[in-house]
Structure 1
């Protein structure tokens, strides 16, 4: 659906070239919700804006639904942009226009008939949950309602792709949850491909299918959210996961009940239906290894349940190794934190 190949973006700063993006290779599949996460200044906003050519890359290719965007002239680019909607952190609404007129704005630019515009606006107002608010002005709306208007406006021309530029960063946690739920519903109902950038890992784990981590203008980690969240490889990724991880770094803490040298600390990760099954208990009973659960959580990554436990295995080392092997054989991920 979206392919970025060798994308680079340089800015001229004081007569010298500063790289904002470095050799970005990225593929975003049709119909998925793809997240891009990074710290401020990492290049994530520049990256998402290259998709609709609001930022023209210095080098590389940007292909959206089979169209090479970097080769389009002004006229054709404007036409292609109708298939790429965009919502913004600070809403970017017309303050002197009503909700209905804000949503109608791109339709009027496309010179659609008045009757069609009216029908489409009414349909979108209902879709985003703003029925009865069409005649209000932005100043009369809450932040969440303003963002709903922004989403409706972005969807006005029936785009194939929806770009979300920090769409929830200006909202409180409860409103953020409502907006993420709306985006998830839109994705499911319309099959639209959603690309969102954020600096909040909670946004990624709530609605995204896959994620790319950007640092210093480079993609440093990429993959399914379940893999990246539960097994982060890069330092930056681990920092973001730590923001929302319910299982804190355990360090060298133990229960204190095992003799020195006769304990093994492990982190056990469950994914899917095994999250709700007594696999740990059954394994320890089978191997006769005493254990203590020091920390634990059960949660979800989008629609996928997962669990993480930090467990102290007690007794002889051979018994712990046997238990770990059995757990791994039953499909669980087991990370040894410390021996002895």
Structure 2
């Protein structure tokens, strides 16, 4: 089921006679339960795209549909109602500095006119969920960046939204805290089934928790797909640049000298990553192989491995190895 749909969304800013196209005919679909990442450099349009989803930025043209409701067609009062079903986490927390943790989390519930007893019960649930029960009476200035972001997450979840928008939610945090926040988002997605749309300029965020990704450049989506597919076979130059942030792969595969053999790049995905597939296939022939480069990692919950090998032997044997690997579902690229 598709939960978020953008149809030919454009956003134009006009300032002092200058025209800036922040978004140009963007189309996007996010399915229920997805953790969908949008990555791009500063100025690519990703923040504008995110803010168009809940109409904090109203598109110049195009349609925005969330949960079957066309938000761009709603009146302001109806739009306010629908926004309660869309939570938002901000890069710099946006907390009330003179309010306690409990009061910050309760704030959107008071605006929604929940009863005091219902607010208390909901805040208690959220404090437990984000691990802040022992800090309920503290003020933001007494907390770390990671704890402040946990308040922001709890507040965004207060009204039981169907969608959680994350605006660079970890870019102000150190690496260790970033991982704890990403794990929390994963847990929330798994426990609550909430759909998450996040923007980032960091590929490791995409690799850690997203199942789908869109790459933005110049106000357009230039590449989109399952994270594994995009990561292992990036097509656009911008995508390749982002993949390079986290890739352990050598920059120049041709730097490896080889003695007349055949250079192969092999990708294993899923459980085959841990199986002796290459050994079993090669031993059926008289060929030999040398491993020149190899890594094993994970993409969200999926293991994957990459090997750069040199096959040595008769042409018929090397052809057979490539065919047999592909028959067993292994992705093989003949480099040279």
Tell me if 1:245 matches 2:247: yes
Secondary structure, in 3 states, of the residue corresponding to 1:252? helix
Which portions of structure 1, spanning 4 or more consecutive aligned residues, are displaced by more than 4 angstroms? none
Given candidates 257, 267, 270, the residue that maps to 2:268 is 270
Q: Which residue does the alignment assign to 1:212? A: 214
Q: Could you tell me the TM-score, scaled by structure 1's length?
A: 0.96
Question: Structure 2 matches for 1:107-118, cutoff 5 A?
Answer: 107-118=109-120
Contact 1:85 1:163 in 2 (8 A): yes
Measured after TM superposition, the shift of residue 139 of structure 1 is: 0.5
Superposition CA RMSD, Å: 1.1
Question: Structure 2 matches for 1:1-340, cutoff 5 A?
Answer: 1-254=3-256, 256=258, 258=259, 262-338=260-336
Q: Note the alpha carbon deviations across 1:30-88, whole angstroms, 9 max, x for none.
A: 11111111111100000011000011001110000011011112211111110000001
> Structure 1: how far apart are the matches of 2:6 and 2:155?
26
Contact 1:254 1:312 in 2 (8 A): no
> Structure 1: how far apart are the matches of 2:181 and 2:77?
33
Contact 1:4 1:61 in 2 (8 A): yes
> Structure 2: how far apart are the matches of 1:287 and 1:89?
56
Q: Note the alpha carbon deviations across 1:126-176, whole angstroms, 9 max, x for none.
A: 110001101000000000000000000000010010000000000111111
Contact 1:242 1:248 in 2 (8 A): no
> Structure 2: how far apart are the matches of 1:59 and 1:293?
53
> Structure 1: how far apart are the matches of 2:6 and 2:44?
17
Q: Could you tell me the TM-score, scaled by structure 2's length?
A: 0.97
> Structure 1: how far apart are the matches of 2:125 and 2:327?
52
Contact 2:286 2:313 in 1 (8 A): no
Q: Note the alpha carbon deviations across 1:263-288, whole angstroms, 9 max, x for none.
A: 22111000111101111111111122
> Structure 1: how far apart are the matches of 2:286 and 2:17?
70
> Structure 2: how far apart are the matches of 1:157 and 1:288?
65
Greater mean alpha carbon deviation, residues 118-127 or residues 246-255: 246-255
Is there any run of 5+ residues in structure 1 with no aligned partner, and where? Answer: none
Secondary structure, in 3 states, of the residue corresponding to 2:114? coil
Measured after TM superposition, the shift of residue 255 of structure 1 is: 5.0
Contact 1:206 1:301 in 2 (8 A): yes
State the aligned residue count.
Answer: 334
